[in-house]
Chain A
Amino acid sequence: MSTRLAKGGRLIDRTAAVEFTFNGKRMKGFAGDSLAAGLLANDQMLVGRSFKYHRPRGIVASGPEEPNALVNLGREARLEPNQRTTTTELFDGLEATSQNHWPSLEFDVGVINNYAARFMPAGFYYKTFIHPRPFWKHVFEPIIRRAAGLGKAPTQGDADRYEHAYAFCDVLVVGAGVAGLLAAKAAADTGARVILLEQAPVLGGRAPVDDAQVQGKPVEAWLSAMEADLAARDNVTVRLRTCAAGVYDHGYVLADERVADHTPGDGRPKHRLWRIRTAKVITATGAIERPLSFAGNDIPGVMLAGAVRDFAVNFAVSPGDRTVVVTNNDSAYQTALVLKAAGLEVPAILDARDVVTGALPEAARKAGIRVLTGHAIASVKGGKRVTGVSVCLQAGEGAVTEEIACEAVAMSGGWSPVVHLYSHCGGKLNWDNGISAFVPDPMRPPLNHDGSAMVECVGAANGDLDLSGTAPAIPPVWVMPQGAPIKLRLKMWLDYQNDVKVSDVQLAAREGYMSVEHTKRYTTLGMATDQGKLSNINGLAILADALGSEIPQVGTTTFRPPYTPVTIGALAGESRGDIFQPLRRTPMHEAHERAGAYFEPVGLWRRPYTFPRAGETHEQAVHREVVNTRTNVGLLDASTLGKIVVKGPDAGRFLDMLYTGVMSTLPVGKCRYGLMCNEQGFLSDDGVVARIDEDTWLCHTTSSGADRIHGWMEDWLQCEWWDWQVFTANVTEQYAQVAVVGPNARKLLETLGGMDVSKETLPFMQWADGTLGGFPCRVYRISFSGELSYEIAVPASHGAAFWAACTQAGKAFGAMPYGTEGLHVLRAEKGFIMIGDETDGTVIPQDLGLDWAISKKKADYLGKRGQERSYLASPDRWKLVGFETLDGSVVPDGAYIIADGTNANGQRNTQGRVTSTYYSPTLKRGIAMGLLKHGPTRMGDVVEFNTVQGGTVKARVRDTMFYDKDGEKQNV
């Protein structure tokens, strides 16, 4: 059994005991422990179940590469699934529960998959669940969904907060082991601004465990001197518990700082996401030890040799009284020596190599440890924990030469440099035969904006696995024993979490998978939460061997950020709830809130959809607002309407290119409706243009189009017609705009008083400056409703007061505010188009019967050539008409007009679609506009719209002017 040793443990404080629970069981640990160390100290070898076969799983590693020991951490609003116990710091009151088991960790029903394992090879899901088709939805998927999934998604909102922070530096060093510390110091010596990130809570990396001395000094003394040196420098910032998750273009690095994971609820942000821009990245990210592939290498108690060493030295945790070490390199001998020194037994070191002569092996022999060279593990014995190993010859096929009883196995298959950050932005790798690993190619680094190398690797991350710089060779040992038969290969795990075995990768190769990327997806190798950190190289080697190819030719899968998972909360940062995104509010927003407005988002704006009264549904409120606007007077907050000033000697010429109509001839004081198209000819925006003076025009755009159209104007002025003398200014937010609409509109304005708004002085489609109720204003006599209508712009700072004045003055005339839905109904009753309803980026003005707004005389305008294309000029295009349902009902939104017959997919043919559909409270019936093939020539025809429920609605084709065809209401 695993236990706590009586002495030692460089990271733990034995005077500070902490209590925690695992699956409700109370356990004791010390401050400084990782959760994994705490679990092992309490003999909790079994910590989870694998994904597919529900095999018992124990702790394998001691760092972020851990694939097995993932737990649900915390509860309720602080529940986090898939937390790695090896990187979780223990604190008093920590609650952890194991994952992927049912009903319990000890007794798991899903383990039946294990006995059926030979029926569930690679690609099992693809192969099995295809037929019969209905079975997938009703039988297979519900079962798989219940059985699948590691961890539980929290059901409550996150109680913690997260924040983003920005940092800039000349050199960013990732990893504070010996190599990283030296790199940071060297960079700092040049005067560079340095940031040093370390994912662990302490500096030093592996050195305090693996090395007695650094640069001739005792390691602990060297480290404290270095720590003090860096801390004393103004140009160096050291951040612990901070993992560089990704390296992006031009020195952009994302790093996740676990600020308060170990002190939950103390008021600090749980994580801080650093967005760092650096001139250069130096990665000193070390190397990750590889498992060996022998039968039963997944049984709890089989651990990486380096991890066994870490637990013993850092936390004084013994994995068991007797540990068998199995290796293909010298580093694992250190584990044997450490265990021996702690008073534990190492029955044997099984070394796959035939000849072993290094200093460490010699030390092990001297310590009296039995070293068996040329030997391997035939299989590990045990179920939920190791009970022993069967020994065989590495060169053979697994004939058992000896059996050794033990509680733990420490394995080392060599070390893989952590090249992830180097590779995120395209850094290339070379295969190093000396250490059997991929190492960064310094000739092919990711590049900075200036073409210099953006990332440089140092230390073990660069393949320099030993501080001495003379690491002994690590020969390739991918399968143990080398001639293992299928019976053994079926039990050799590569990916522990996803249950991918040596046999699965070999099967994939036999079935024709050549590409490593395809094999990954077929077998799910490396697709677990550790993303193949532990065993991808082992899998690549197996694939290469099965394909009769070399590892460099097979290559690696793509390294993608993040290096370790970053919680969504950290990525969201403060962008949640009320400050999820910036909101744009009109000057009258608070008045609308007081009036009980129901708002809808329009881009980043919030606009009143309607102003419901007590007891009213939104629909009833909209109908009331429409009727009142038609009979009395309505007030609309039109402030969001885009307003762009276009000014200069060439402004008229410019607008003639921008609009389909002619704006240069518009007399001062007048307004004209205009359409804008993109170069393909499709309608992009519309609005009323007012000529302010000889060289100034004011262009109204749609609410959501203001920024886009302003950018569009600038694009043409700066990039195409840069010699034209024109200035543009987006003044949308400089003005509040109120539409006063309805038969009583003039009376309302006359009550305010201050300027002449009579028919004679201010006729339809003109504007005038003046004052109303003492407010400086510009009044446009334009209408989007068909009623007598004025749109009045006042400086934004007067908006709220002017709205209040209009409301007050309107009381005598039955004024009510109306919202965007009322606006839509009013415009649809008049057959006015709405950008985004009648248009969708594939509609040209001619489709909408807007030929009258297109100049025939102009030689050119944006979109003219596009509209001349044969397809767009075709008489067979769907064109805009109105519809009235025969039964008075409302056509469903998005409905298509069906045609005879079916298409090649067996779907009903169509001949048109609805674009706007409303109940008209004015006409007391459903009205609609839509596009219909040959529409304008089919007046009076009856067509059928499909409905969501199935069936159809019959409607008669008519013109789009449902109300006041002659315009008598607006020209008064």
Chain B
Amino acid sequence: MLTLECPYCGLMADETELSPGYEAHLKRFGPASSPEEFEAYMFARKNPKGVHFERWRHSYGCGKWFLAARCTATLEVFGTYPAQVGEPPADIIAKIQARRPEWKAGWQPDGKDTK
């Protein structure tokens, strides 16, 4: 039973108020995309043990979608932020790097930002 702070309400929301929305920062591939691109978009999820970026909806609260960076192994939450961004905010990246020095930045579906 996680608690996540809704960045819109500023409220520490209990998991029972939230709905999970799987991986964040996916790039949509529509018509004219290659089978490989579409496969990566539709099916190839990172599912890491460790730092992960997820979508959550404050379903039984304000109804807004937001994004969360957390560790799937220890459940530590590095931060939550509005969904209307292309990449995680710098302060959250900095916090993750401070807490997980070994972490290699990676949130894009094509893995281009992963070393």
Chain A residues with a Cβ under 8 A of chain B: 248-252, 277, 425-426, 446-451, 679-680, 711, 714-715, 718-720, 722, 859-860, 864-866, 868-869
Contacts and interface: CB of A to CB of B under 8 A. Distances in A.
Contacts of A249: 1-3, 15, 75
Given A248-B1, A447-B74, A449-B3, A720 B28 contact: yes
Contact of B42 (A715, A866, A868): A866
Given A715-B65, A866-B38, 12 more contacts: A249-B1, A250-B2, A251-B3, A277-B3, A426-B74, A451-B76, A715-B21, A719-B65, A719-B84, A722-B83, A860-B30, A865-B38
B29 interface: yes
B1 A718 contact: no
A869 B74 CA distance: 39
Given A718-B64, A719-B65, A865-B29, A250 B74 contact: no
Contacts of B84: 718-719, 722
Interface string B52-84: 000101010001110000000011110000011
B19 A711 contact: yes
Interchain residue pairs A-B with the least CB separation, the first 10: A252-B1, A722-B84, A451-B76, A718-B65, A447-B74, A449-B77, A250-B3, A719-B83, A860-B30, A865-B30
Contacts of B21: 715, 719
A649 B65 CA distance: 22
A869 B59 CA distance: 33
Name which of B21, B29, B30, B35 has the most chain A CB atoms within 10 A of its CB. B30
Interface of B: 1-4, 14-15, 19, 21, 28-31, 33, 35, 38, 42, 55, 57, 59, 63-65, 74-77, 83-84, 99
Contact of B65 (A251, A714, A868): A714
Contact of A449 (B42, B55, B75, B83): B75
Contacts of A679: 28, 42
A859 B2 contact: no
A250 B31 contact: no
B57 A868 contact: no
Contacts of A715: 21, 57, 65
Contacts of B2: 249-250, 449
B39 to A, nearest CB: 9
A871 to B, nearest CB: 11
A449 B74 contact: no
A679 B30 CA distance: 9
Given A277-B14, A450-B77, A859 B3 contact: no
A555 B63 CA distance: 45
A722 B99 CA distance: 31
A718 B99 CA distance: 30
A250 B57 contact: no
B83 A864 contact: no
Contacts of B14: 277
Contacts of A719: 21, 55, 65, 83-84
A450 B64 CA distance: 23
A250 B38 CA distance: 36
Contacts of A277: 3, 14
Nearest to B29: A865
Contacts of A446: 74
A425 B74 CA distance: 9
23 contacts: A248-B1, A249-B3, A249-B15, A249-B75, A250-B3, A250-B75, A277-B14, A447-B76, A449-B4, A449-B76, A451-B99, A679-B28, A714-B65, A719-B55, A719-B65, A719-B83, A720-B28, A722-B83, A859-B31, A860-B30, A860-B31, A864-B31, A865-B38
Nearest to B38: A865
Contacts of A426: 74
B62 to A, nearest CB: 11
Contacts of B55: 719
Contacts of A868: 31
A543 to B, nearest CB: 27
A447 B72 CA distance: 11
Contacts of A869: 35, 38
B76 A450 contact: yes
Contacts of A714: 57, 63, 65
A251 B2 CA distance: 9
A248 B4 CA distance: 15
A923 to B, nearest CB: 42
A584 to B, nearest CB: 16
Contact of A865 (B1, B33, B77): B33
A859 B3 CA distance: 41
Among A425, A719, A860, A866, which residue has the most Cβ atoms of chain B within 10 A? A719
A864 B30 contact: yes
Contacts of A447: 74-76
A447 B15 CA distance: 17
Contacts of B59: 711
Nearest to B43: A680
B35 to A, nearest CB: 8
B31 A865 contact: yes
A370 B107 CA distance: 71
A799 B83 CA distance: 39
Nearest to B85: A722
A653 to B, nearest CB: 14
Nearest to B84: A722
A714 to B, nearest CB: 7
B89 to A, nearest CB: 16
Nearest to A451: B76
Contacts of B99: 451
Nearest to A426: B74
B18 to A, nearest CB: 12
A53 to B, nearest CB: 41
B65 to A, nearest CB: 4
B22 to A, nearest CB: 11
B107 to A, nearest CB: 14
B49 to A, nearest CB: 12
A711 B57 contact: yes
Contacts of B76: 447-451
Contacts of A680: 42
A868 B74 CA distance: 41
Contacts of B77: 449-450
